[in-house]
Amino acid sequence: MHQRPLGPFSVSAIGLGCMNICHAYGSPIPESEAERLLLSALDQGVTHFDTAALYGFGASETMIGKVLSAHRNRFVLASKCGMQGVDVNGDGKLVRVIDGRPATIKATCEAALRRLKTDVIDLYYLHRWDRQVPIEDSVGALADLVREGKIRSIGLSEVSAATLRRAHAVHPIAALQTEYSLWTRNPEIAVLDACRELGVSFVAFSPVARGFLCGPMDVAAFDPKDIRRSMPRFAADNYARNAELLPAYQQLAREAGCTPAQLAIAWLLHQGPDILPIPGTTRIDHLTDDLGAADVKLSGDLLAQLDALINPRTVHGDRYNDQANREVDTERF
């Protein structure tokens, strides 16, 4: 696997996002399947695993600790704080809460270390900026964790260029993570340039557009718990219009000699050596397909055709609904 810098680390150009194994797109896969997937990723050269306290309310971190802690020296471990499950009503039911207070960040880290079965997290992100807490205070708590040796570097997720600069003034930010793909170009407004100005690695989640770029799908058949049900682009009317882009996109994949998923990830890799896609999946065959994108070479002409085909002017619907948009700090078209 080709290598790219991730803050102070060198990792596989394509990492593994570990949300899908327990969260967001329906019922969690059996633990045995999650174990095989994680070990297969490691065996295929993945050295960047990305998880969060939120994913499955700790289930993803627990699975990584169970499966990969014995191989801890073989990969860079990234996780996130600032958004997790909390028993708000005292009835045992966890509710997703954004909380960037220093004490909460430190407590979340301690719990993560136990679940991950490690004494240090390589890259620890603030999953969401809690607008009730100055970003300087949240990053200050993360800086304390660096000094205490509990984390090695600090990341931010779904923030704007202005917030990144404020955070970076408190402590160097190693990486910024946000959604980036052919159909989500928001980073190109400002934050990608800010990352390059400050020397911050850019981690791109949902590089295959939450499965859209892998091929036609039946949005009416999504699992009731699938988060895409709340995303405007997957609403029936918007999806029908977006799906009209797929035949031409699939033809470009054939011209490139790769699969549609590989084309999406290869496009990201061609946007710069500082960009690190982290596709997620529950299937080993999809994982192998995704990783094959590292060897796909795209011509300038084909890249131009992709840009013209799928971009903010041709995609219908916002990436998030109104509530989710209020929770992120990213720039919007």
Q: Mind telling me the catalytic residues?
A: 55
Distances 234 to 133, 190, 217, 315, 318 between C-alpha atoms, Å: 33, 26, 10, 11, 9
* Helices vs. strands in the chain: H and E counts, helices first: 12, 12
Provide the token pair at 89.
């009503």
The Cβ of residue 31 has, within 10 Å, a number of other Cβ atoms equal to 15
The Cβ of residue 1 has, within 10 Å, a number of other Cβ atoms equal to 16
Residue-wise DSSP of 250-265: HHHHHHHTS-HHHHHH
List, in order, residues 6 or more apart from 169 with CB less than 8 Å away. 136
List, in order, residues 6 or more apart from 250 with CB less than 8 Å away. 215, 260
Per the CB < 8 A criterion, the answer to whether 30 and 293 are in contact is no
- CA atoms within a 13 Å half-sphere pointing along the CA-CB vector of 114: 6
Provide the token pair at 227.
């988060």
Please state the φ and ψ torsions of residue 63, each to the nearest 5 degrees: -65, -40
> Whose CA is closest to 294, among 44, 30, 49, 32?
44
Strand partners, 79: 124
Provide the token pair at 255.
């011209």
> Whose CA is closest to 54, among 16, 84, 98?
84
